[in-house]
Amino acid sequence: MVRYLILALAVATSAAAQEDGGIALDLNRLDPVQDACRLTFVADNSLADLSALALETVLFDRDGRVAALTLFDFGDLPEGARRVRQFDVAGQDCAGIAQVLINGVASCAGAELEARDCAQALRVTGSVEDVEVLQ
């Protein structure tokens, strides 16, 4: 039941970001892969055509400590299109991740946009049970 509630919230947030001309970003999956954790994100962009988007991302462990600080390069995100991006974090156990914080927009490029425009338009959600996604 909780899983369906989380999924419904993610869909509602994505729809709201699209209506507002935003960028909806959902942490959709965590999967263990060869001494790494693969994070899968679904991005819905209705802000503008983006030729580049990179987000500073922090992973916290179950004790609230920083487990990893990294940049996730989402590449180009065409307006009106849904894109899936995957990132492997080496040496990270997926079961140990309690929170994912989008700490900031490292870069954002597209039709006269600045990083702060993307930061203001960004809406994040999480569909992974027991993992909180923050902004």
Joined tokens for residue 103 = 């700490």
Residue-level pLDDT at 20: 62
First CA to last CA across the chain, in angstroms?
25
CA-to-CA separations, 74 to 1, 5, 30, 53, 100, in angstroms, rounded: 31, 27, 17, 5, 16
> Which residue in 43, 47, 51 sits closest to 19, CA to CA?
47
Q: pTM above 0.85?
A: no
Q: What is the per-residue pLDDT for 112?
A: 81
Dihedral angle of Cα 82, 10, 128, 85, to the nearest 10 degrees: 10
Task: State the fold for domain 2-134.
Answer: Immunoglobulin-like (2.60.40)
Per-residue pLDDT of the chain (135 residues; tens, 9 = 90+): 444 434 444 444 444 433 468 999 999 999 999 999 999 999 999 999 999 999 999 999 999 999 999 999 999 999 999 999 999 999 999 999 999 999 999 999 987 888 889 999 999 999 999 999 999
CA–CA separation, 126 and 97 (whole Å): 13
Distance, in Å, from the CA atom of 18 to the CA atom of 80, rounded to the nearest integer, reads 8
Please give the pLDDT value at position 17. Answer: 39
The structural domains of the chain, with segments of one domain joined by +, span: 2-134
Contacts of 3 (CB under 8 A, 6+ apart): 129
Looking at residue 1, its pLDDT comes to 47
pLDDT number for residue 2? 43
Residues 6+ apart with CB under 8 A from 67: 59, 60, 61, 92, 96, 97
